[in-house]
Structure 1
């Protein structure tokens, strides 16, 4: 019987779900595609129909976890009425809230943090770096806009501000995901962001966090 696109999509989703479970429980290096096929209830050939190898499968999982609201940040930082730093702070805090309530996202990020990126998995690391570089370039543009508008303290360069934010977020999420979720990611994360962004701001630009409703009022 002829397979439909819906059938193929359903099979692909089953394989991805099975890979997510196996990678999370056993680790990427300890999981074979044969085990993924068995867990998904499909043949090994079905796995290879959809994915060239384990690296390709892992990349598909990685792409299921987008970075914080890139499109919104890129669009809103060009609007003069908005507080650029507040846009970035709010988008980053919102991403922490998404992570805190999305168990699938938590599992995928945990898999990524535990993965050994030697040998074949080096392609995944290269893809991560490519995505991180694109995201960091967008953030550097945001901090450049803030500097131009007098919102960023001159002791910060856009590049150093991006690095500080990246390192803070990586440390926060790694600690929470790998060491027992022993603190409130949202409340403590937002408070840490507030302190960091207070350090970014010039004295004359300290304002409440950005909201789309407030931004619309300012434009009106």
Structure 2
């Protein structure tokens, strides 16, 4: 039984690796499951054993690229006397560092950005909406905590700060991945975040009791 499980997992991994290569080279819409099966060295039936359809296969790749460390942010912002904005800035900057070094993560994100989200792929948009809402909720809580502690400039609301940070991250990643990696994502991304977070901070921060 153990061997069967291991073999099934190995087959699933081969299918995912082949899908990643094919989707990256041809795009999701232009790639058939037959082509993925051939590239993986398996039958089409083997694909259907592991994935209901191409959308399910795409979502499995999608899940391989988690967002910045939500659990860590949610946990650490509750620490008394913590610099909430520093925690969020560090987590997002570290994620850019990780992307700059991880070629597989780069390929999967590029596939997502290039994908034509037609009716076949509408489930992916639903998943993206769920993830965005969850991620925004974590960030909004962090910025609300910063506001309570006098660490957030009052001209920002927690919601507007969270959205602006997400848009900044998406803009950086999109331009870097789709337009030839023309800048140093890790270094220039950190610099952009530094300036953005400086705009979040009040000129004269005042700590309030947690």
Give the 4+ runs in structure 1 shifted more than 3 A: none
Aligned residue for 1:86?
86
What count of residue pairs does the alignment treat as equivalent? Answer: 206
Q: Which residue of 2 aligns with 1:95?
A: 95
Alpha-carbon shift at residue 3 of structure 1 (Å)? 6.2
1:109 maps to 109
- The reply on whether 1:122 has 2:86 as its aligned counterpart is no
Matching residue of 2:66: 66
Q: Name the residue aligned to 1:131.
A: 131
For the residues of structure 2 that align with 1:192 and 1:19, how far apart are their CA atoms?
Answer: 34
Q: Deviations over 1:104-132 (max 9, x none)?
A: 00000000000000111010111011011
Q: Which residue of 1 aligns with 2:203?
A: 203
After superposition, residues 15-30 of structure 1 pair within 5 angstroms as 15-30=15-30
Equivalent position of 1:47 in the other structure = 47
Q: Distance in 2 between matches of 1:177 and 1:34?
A: 28
What's the CA shift string for 1:135-168, capped at 9, x where partnerless? 1100000000000000001100000001111111
Structure 2 unmatched runs, 5+: none
- Which residue is equivalent to 2:140? 140
Equivalent position of 1:210 in the other structure: none
Partner Cα separation in structure 2 for residue 97 and residue 167 of structure 1: 18
1:2, CA displacement in angstroms? Answer: 9.7
Partner SS state of residue 100, structure 1: helix
CA–CA distance in 2 between the matches of 1:107 and 1:54? 18
**Where in structure 1 are there 5+ consecutive unaligned residues?**
207-220
Q: What TM-score does the superposition give when structure 1 sets the normalisation length?
A: 0.91
Give the Cα separation in 1 of the matches to 2:22 and 2:133.
Answer: 29
Deviation at 1:204, TM superposition (A): 2.7
Corresponding residue SS for 1:168: helix
Structure 1 residue 81, shift from structure 2 partner: 2.0
Deviation at 1:205, TM superposition (A): 3.7
CA shift for structure 1 position 188: 0.4
Query: Alpha-carbon deviation of 1:202?
Result: 1.0
- Secondary structure, aligned partner of 1:122: helix
CA distance in 2, matches of 1:191, 1:55: 37
